[in-house]
Structure 1
Amino acid sequence: MEHALLYTLFRMQSKRRRRNFLRRLRHKKQHLLFAAFSLAAAVHFRTERHTWVKVRSQHWWEDIVLASFTEQDWVSSFRLGRRTFAYLCVSLKSRIIKRDTHLRQAIPVQKRVAVALWYLATGSGYNTISHLFGLSRSSVCVCVWEVCSAMVSCMQKHIQLPTGQRLLDIMDGFERLWGFPQCAGAIDGSHIPITAPQLYAKDYFNRKGHHSIILQALVDYQSQFTNINVGWAGSVHDARVLRNSSIFDLAERGVLFPEHTRSIAGIDVPITVLGDAAYPLMPWLMKPYSDHGQLMGDQQHFNYRLSRARMTVECAFGRLKGRWRCLLKQSELELKRVPVVVTACCILHNLCEQNGETFDNEWLQGQSESGTLEETQEMAPVLQQQQQQQQPHAHNIRMAFTKFFSEQGRQQQ
């Protein structure tokens, strides 16, 4: 009888039918049979328990990257060499390190930083990176956000307005390399593409036909960022972004740069910043003459000299987006997190430039224009009023530069 009942039990493929069969045995007080059949069923129909952590391959990271990557491989994959990578890990360790638990081992600091750099350098999707590094998609997302946030929090020293000897070196560099005296930087704006937000999407739709936020940057003669402003909607004019930035506030209060003037063509010229036609003409901000086809030779020469010196900011944007190609595609991040990622990329750009990291010109391929706005767009009313108040002195300063460059040209002939 027992063998017949056991055979019947094993033929029951449905869990519900086996459960009802055992319940009937127990109801009939056949406890020994119930215990025996329960044990037999548990052994025969046992299932594998789910693991707490899914097993993922660590081969690429541990056996290829850490074991066999050359210096060139590091630069090609992570945009910086081993030495700079090690410095980055040490700088961020206190903010991103995690502790092991009884359930799982924490992701090492090196791997967290590498995941973030790979995302920033390639713009790959989270699924691709998760398979490559042997992590879950959510872990990749957390690594990218935590590493970028840590850089913004503790590495702001790499983006600072110049003071003291550093300021004098920058002014000397602009005059020595680009022939423009009393210049402490070049300013411009660039569009960073984003996914259309659910709220106020029209505000982020720029003149180029896609959604973006604006990165305004002040750059030195070596194409390194000295000040950035990130987050304004793509439809906003560059002049309005400037008006609401810390640069404008410091300049209007007279504390952007020290009172270090130089007599040029009989005019005491202060330290200036160079901008394109989208910006207002200010005593501390030089822009080109408006070209309506009637410019004199001296004015055309001034425009040429200013444009040549402004190449530093165009070069900075090109190298920034060339290294960190996540800035060329629509980000998967929430809109509020995009400025943090952009700021982190700017910090990494300066870090690479300061450490002399190799830049491959092939990284520049596939880029569009920096996204500066045209002069034909209307200026913000507040800036128009400000410009009218400052124009007489600003025009005198620009005229002094024009005469200075003209005399230089005649002496060189």
Structure 2
Amino acid sequence: MQRRRREFVQNFRVSRESFDYICDQTRGLLVKKDMNYRLCIPVQKRVAIAIWKMATGSEYQTISHLFGVGLCTVYNCVQEFCDAVIRVLLPLHVKTPDAPKLLEMATFFKNRWRAPQCVGAIDGSHIPITAPKEFPKDFFNRKGWHSVVLQAVVDGKGLFWDVCVGFPGRMHDARVLRLSSLWEVLSDGQLLGQQKANISGRQVGHNIIGDPAYPMLEWLMKPFSDTGRLTPAQSMYNFRLSSARSVMEMAFGRLKGRWRWLLKRNECKLELAKRMVLACCVLHNICEEHGDNFVEEHLGSWSDRCM
């Protein structure tokens, strides 16, 4: 039994329990009616086809032979599964925290990394794509390949609570932030300014932390520029910020370790690629929330190429 469980996770990157949960939640949108001379493909098989695609990055033709279905069927299963995950599971598993949740997240960051009032870490990651027909130069990133940007905010446990995907790879992280819905949500100060704490005589609200690419804002903290003249206090601040931000890198590592599709230059159209990235982020949260085993060798060498 244990061996079967391990093999299932190795093949599909999710536990059997998580797989069944995903099937149950998306069944209403994925179930099909039997035809007079043809039985429909069961929901479990449709989900398995889509998850296999995202877990392995295999070609559609390969998956078609593996599961004994037509090429168009594989493509439709992936599309419909992603749409169902975004419609049903995204609102349940990737959502803006309320006041009690913010307090819980801030307590976690403070206890673990001594980062007061921090409720998340933000960063961007590049997802490889084939050059789109329209404005391909916009998607050509600084590393020399075409991509879309995945901007994400994670809590101290590495769970995504805000995800934005689709901006061209050429775009700077700071501009992606300003154009994202997260900017609108946080800029008025209402969400993160609800529960302030006295820090060195100043009332400070909750904040998220980012790398030097981001602007310094009331709700967004970044490291001091290291000019070689940092004070001991500034150096300690940078150290704690860097330590807390490591949770973001770990989250991206586990995301791409599980869903190897995110590492491949994909043959699918741009809009489907965006939906697949969103679906992978939702699946990441489900796996983490359910305590699914993560196989370390899945990490591979993702980090340098796709950050």
Q: Is the 8 A contact 1:247 1:256 kept in 2?
A: no
Report how far residue 69 of structure 1 moved: 7.7
Higher RCO (CA 8 Å, separation ≥ 6 residues)? 2
1:233-275 superposed Cα distances (whole Å, 9 cap, x missing partner): 0000000000011221122222332421111111111111101
1:272-320 superposed Cα distances (whole Å, 9 cap, x missing partner): 1101100000011000011122222221111111010011111111100
Identity of aligned residues (%): 47
**2:167 paired residue number:** 232
Q: Where do residues 4-403 of structure 1 align in structure 2 (5 Å cutoff)? A: 70-156=4-90, 157-369=92-304
Letter aligned with residue 144 of structure 2: G
245-254 vs 67-76, which moves further: 67-76
CA distance in 2, matches of 1:112, 1:268: 52
CA distance in 2, matches of 1:370, 1:85: 29
Letter aligned with residue 145 of structure 1: Q
Letter aligned with residue 227 of structure 2: H
Q: Is the 8 A contact 1:251 1:257 kept in 2?
A: yes
CA distance in 2, matches of 1:295, 1:223: 30
**With structure 2 as the length reference, what TM-score do the two structures score?**
0.97
Q: Is the 8 A contact 1:323 1:363 kept in 2?
A: yes
Letter aligned with residue 276 of structure 1: D
Aligned length: 306
1:216-235 superposed Cα distances (whole Å, 9 cap, x missing partner): 00100000000011000000
Q: 1:140 to 1:291 in 2, by over 3 A?
A: same
Letter aligned with residue 111 of structure 2: R
**With structure 1 as the length reference, what TM-score do the two structures score?**
0.72
4+ residue stretches of structure 1 with deviation over 6 A?
A: none
Report how far residue 205 of structure 1 moved: 0.3
Q: Is the 8 A contact 2:54 2:261 kept in 1?
A: yes
What's the RMSD between the two structures over aligned residues? 1.5
CA distance in 1, matches of 2:168, 2:45: 34
CA distance in 1, matches of 2:106, 2:306: 27
SS of the aligned residue for 1:189 comes to: strand
CA distance in 2, matches of 1:123, 1:69: 24
CA distance in 1, matches of 2:43, 2:244: 41
SS of the aligned residue for 1:369 comes to: helix
Report how far residue 331 of structure 1 moved: 1.4
Q: 1:218 to 1:68 in 2, by over 3 A?
A: closer
CA distance in 2, matches of 1:224, 1:119: 22
Q: 1:132 to 1:72 in 2, by over 3 A?
A: same
Report how far residue 369 of structure 1 moved: 2.7
CA distance in 1, matches of 2:121, 2:297: 25
1:153-177 superposed Cα distances (whole Å, 9 cap, x missing partner): 1112100111132221111110111
Q: 1:317 to 1:206 in 2, by over 3 A?
A: same
**1:401 paired residue number:** none
Letter aligned with residue 301 of structure 2: G
Q: Is the 8 A contact 2:128 2:306 kept in 1?
A: no
CA distance in 2, matches of 1:177, 1:365: 27
CA distance in 2, matches of 1:370, 1:314: 13
